C-alpha cells in the first residue's frame, strides 16, 4: 500500500478518495521542516501546497512523486528531484477558474473604488463615503491586457470578453495560439493600451523582471496591474515608476515584490493601492503595516482556493498513482528546463 503525505489539509472527501484508491494517508500536523522531513522519510508520494524543505529528498529516499496544488513549481527543489528521479506534477488548470474569478473580482472592486468606500464608511460620514463613488467606472468597454495566456489567462480573457464586453489584448510567445477572445499584441503596445494588466506567464530567465521600470512607467495613468505570474518580475525601481492611481494585485508569490519598496510606494506614492493575496512571510505577522494601510486589501492566499481545486488535485494524484504502479507515463509532469 503506497503511503501519501499531505503537507497541507485537504477536504475529507479527498482523503477518502485516496484511501479508496489504495493509498495510506498521512497528515503533517504542523508545517515545520523537521516534521515534514520526518514523515516524508516513510512516504512514497507527497501532495503539497506549501514549500518543501530544500533537502527533502535526502530525507525521503522512498518518495517517487510529488503533486502540487496549482502551478507553483518553486515549491519543490527541482534540481534535487530531477537528480533522484522524483517525478513532479502540477495542476496548470486546476485553479484557473478560481484565480480568474479573483482577478475579475479585483477589477470590479478597483473600478468601483470599493476599498476606499468601505474604509470611509467605517470612519467618515455617509455623504463623504458616497462622494468616493463619483470616479467609479464600468469595466464594460475597458481594455484588459493578459500577458501569458495559459489556463488562467485564457479563463480571464473568456470571462472579461464574454461576460463584460471588455476588449482583451493577449501577449505570449505564440500569438497564433491565442483564444478567440484575445487580440494579439506586442508587449509594449499591450502595456500602453490596457486599463488592467494581468500577468499570468511563467517565470524563467526570459521573463525575469519582464515588468521593469520602463515598462511599468509606460502604463496608462488610470491602469491597474494584476499579477498572477511567478517569481520576482517587479523590482524596487519599477515600483517607483508606476504612475499615480495604478493598483498592484499579487496573487502569486510574496517574492514577486520588494515589500519595503511596496510599502513606500503605497504610503508616499505613486501606487494608488494594492490587493495582496501573498506575502514574503506567511502567515502575515500581526504587526505588519499592511494591515493598517487604508489603500491595501489583504487576503490570506485564497485566490486559488475552492473545494473543486482540491478535488482536482486528489483526482490527478490518484490517476498518477495508478499510472506509476502500472509503469505508465504520468500526467502534467513538470519540465524543469521550461519552468512549468
Instruction: Answer for the pair 204, 196: CB distance below 8 angstroms, yes or no.
Output: no
Q: Is 252 left (phi over 0), alpha (psi -120 to 50) or beta?
A: alpha
Percent of the chain with pLDDT over 90: 19
Angle, CA of 328, 330 and 335, to the nearest 5°: 135
Rounded to whole angstroms, how far apart are CA atoms 180 and 324?
37
* pLDDT computed for residue 41 by the predictor: 94
Instruction: Answer for the pair 48, 74: CB distance below 8 angstroms, yes or no.
Output: no
Instruction: Answer for the pair 40, 60: CB distance below 8 angstroms, yes or no.
Output: yes
Asked if pLDDT for residue 101 goes beyond 50, the answer is yes
Give the mean pLDDT of the chain: 79
Q: Which CATH superfamily is domain 96-298 in?
A: NAD(P)-binding Rossmann-like Domain (3.40.50.720)
Q: Do domains 3-94+306-325 and 96-298 have the same CATH topology?
A: yes
Asked if pLDDT for residue 63 goes beyond 90, the answer is yes
Q: Is this model's pTM higher than 0.95 or not?
A: no
* C-alpha pair distances (Å), 334 with each of 86, 89, 148, 216, 237: 11, 5, 18, 31, 32
- List pLDDT tens digits, range 289-326: 989 887 777 888 777 766 676 677 777 777 776 776 67
* pLDDT computed for residue 233 by the predictor: 52
Asked if pLDDT for residue 94 goes beyond 60, the answer is yes
- List pLDDT tens digits, range 226-261: 666 544 555 555 444 443 455 777 766 666 577 877
Of the ranges 61-65, 148-152, 191-195, 217-221, which one carries the lowest mean pLDDT score?
Answer: 217-221
Diameter over CA atoms, the chain: 68
Domain ranges, ordered by start, for the chain = 3-94+306-325, 96-298
Fold of 3-94+306-325: Rossmann fold (3.40.50)
Amino acid at each position: 500500500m503506497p503511503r501519501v503525505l499531505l503537507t497541507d489539509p485537504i477536504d475529507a472527501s479527498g482523503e477518502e478518495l485516496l484511501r479508496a484508491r489504495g493509498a495510506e494517508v498521512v497528515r503533517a500536523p504542523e508545517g515545520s521542516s523537521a516534521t515534514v522531513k520526518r514523515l516524508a522519510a516513510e512516504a512514497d508520494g507527497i501532495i503539497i501546497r506549501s514549500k518543501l524543505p530544500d533537502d527533502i529528498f535526502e530525507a525521503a529516499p522512498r518518495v517517487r512523486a510529488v503533486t502540487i496544488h496549482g502551478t507553483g513549481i518553486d515549491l519543490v527543489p527541482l534540481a534535487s528531484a530531477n537528480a533522484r528521479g522524483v517525478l513532479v506534477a502540477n495542476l496548470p488548470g486546476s485553479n484557473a477558474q478560481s484565480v480568474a474569478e479573483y482577478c475579475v473580482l479585483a477589477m470590479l472592486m478597483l473600478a468601483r473604488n470599493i476599498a476606499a468606500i468601505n474604509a470611509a464608511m467605517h470612519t467618515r460620514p455617509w455623504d463623504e463615503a458616497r462622494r468616493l463613488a463619483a470616479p467609479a467606472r464600468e469595466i464594460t468597454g475597458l481594455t484588459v491586457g493578459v500577458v501569458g495566456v495559459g489556463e488562467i489567462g485564457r479563463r480571464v480573457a473568456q470571462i472579461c470578453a464574454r461576460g463584460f464586453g471588455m476588449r482583451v489584448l493577449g501577449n505570449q510567445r505564440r500569438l497564433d495560439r491565442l483564444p478567440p477572445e484575445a487580440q494579439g499584441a506586442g508587449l509594449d503596445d499591450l502595456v500602453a493600451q490596457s486599463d488592467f494588466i494581468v500577468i499570468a506567464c511563467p517565470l524563467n530567465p526570459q521573463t525575469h523582471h519582464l515588468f521593469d521600470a520602463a515598462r511599468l512607467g509606460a502604463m496608462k495613468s488610470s491602469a491597474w496591474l494584476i499579477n498572477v505570474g511567478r517569481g520576482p518580475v517587479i523590482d524596487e525601481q519599477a515600483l517607483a515608476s508606476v504612475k499615480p492611481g495604478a493598483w498592484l494585485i499579487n496573487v502569486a508569490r510574496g517574492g514577486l515584490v520588494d515589500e519595503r519598496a511596496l510599502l513606500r510606494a503605497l504610503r508616499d506614492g505613486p501606487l494608488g493601492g494594492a490587493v495582496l493575496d501573498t506575502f514574503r512571510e506567511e502567515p502575515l505577522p500581526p504587526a505588519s503595516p499592511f494591515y493598517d494601510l487604508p489603500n491595501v486589501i489583504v487576503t490570506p492566499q485564497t485566490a486559488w482556493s475552492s473545494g473543486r481545486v482540491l478535488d482536482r488535485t486528489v483526482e490527478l494524484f490518484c490517476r498518477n498513482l495508478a499510472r506509476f504502479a502500472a509503469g505508465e507515463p504520468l500526467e502534467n509532469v513538470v519540465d524543469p528546463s521550461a519552468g512549468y
